A and B are shown apart, each in its own frame.
Chain A
Amino acid sequence: MSEVVAVIDYGMGNLHSAGKALEKVANGQQILITGDADRIRAADRVVFPGVGAIRDCIAVLQETGLDQAIRDVIAAGKPVLGICVGMQALMAHSEENNGVDCLGVFDGEVTFFGEMQDDTGSKLKVPHMGWNQVQQGMAHPMWAGIADNARFYFVHSYCVTGLADEEVAGYCDYGRRFAAAATRNNVFAVQFHPEKSADAGLTLLENFLRWQP
Chain B
Amino acid sequence: MGLAKRIIPCLDVDDGRVVKGVQFVDIRDAGDPVEVAKRYNDAGADEITFLDITASHEGRDTTLHTVEQIASQVFIPLTVGGGVRTLDDIRNLLNAGADKVGINSAAVHNPEFVREAAERFGSQCIVVAIDAKKVSAESEPNRWEIFTHGGRKPTGLDAVQWARRMTDYGAGEILLTSMDRDGTKNGFDIALTRAISDAVPVPVIASGGVGNLQHLVDGVIQGGADAVLAASIFHFAEYSVEEAKRFMQNAGIEMRL
Which of B1, B2, B75, B125 has the most C-beta atoms of chain A within 10 angstroms of its own C-beta? B75
Instruction: Tell me, rounded to whole Å, the shortest Cβ–Cβ distance linking B82 to chain A.
Output: 19
Instruction: Tell me, rounded to whole Å, the shortest Cβ–Cβ distance linking B170 to chain A.
Output: 11
Complex CA–CA separation, A24 to B41 (angstroms): 15
Is A13 touching B94 in the complex (CB atoms < 8 A)?
Answer: yes
Nearest chain A residue, comparing its CB with the CB of B255 = A131
0/1 interface trace, chain B 1-18, chain A, CB 8 Å (1 if under): 111111000000000000
- Chain B residues lying within 8 Å of A147, measured Cβ to Cβ, are none
Is B256 touching A151 in the complex (CB atoms < 8 A)?
Answer: yes
Is B41 touching A130 in the complex (CB atoms < 8 A)?
Answer: no
Is A14 touching B76 in the complex (CB atoms < 8 A)?
Answer: no
Is A51 touching B75 in the complex (CB atoms < 8 A)?
Answer: no
- Which residues in chain B, 181-233, are within 8 Å of chain A measured between CB atoms? 201-204, 224, 226-227
- Which residues in chain A, 24-57, are within 8 Å of chain B measured between CB atoms? 24, 51-53
Nearest chain A residue, comparing its CB with the CB of B227 = A130
Is A130 touching B4 in the complex (CB atoms < 8 A)?
Answer: yes
Complex CA–CA separation, A53 to B172 (angstroms): 13
Q: A195-B75, A201-B75 are in contact. Are A129 and B97 (CB under 8 A)?
A: no
Q: Does A62 contact B (CB under 8 A)?
A: no
Instruction: Tell me, rounded to whole Å, the shortest Cβ–Cβ distance linking A127 to chain B.
Output: 6
B residues engaging A (CB < 8 A)?
1-6, 41, 46, 68, 71-72, 75-77, 94-99, 121-125, 172-173, 201-204, 224, 226-227, 256
A residues engaging B (CB < 8 A)?
13-14, 16-17, 20-21, 23-24, 51-53, 118, 122-123, 125-133, 149, 151, 153-157, 173-174, 193, 195-198, 201-202
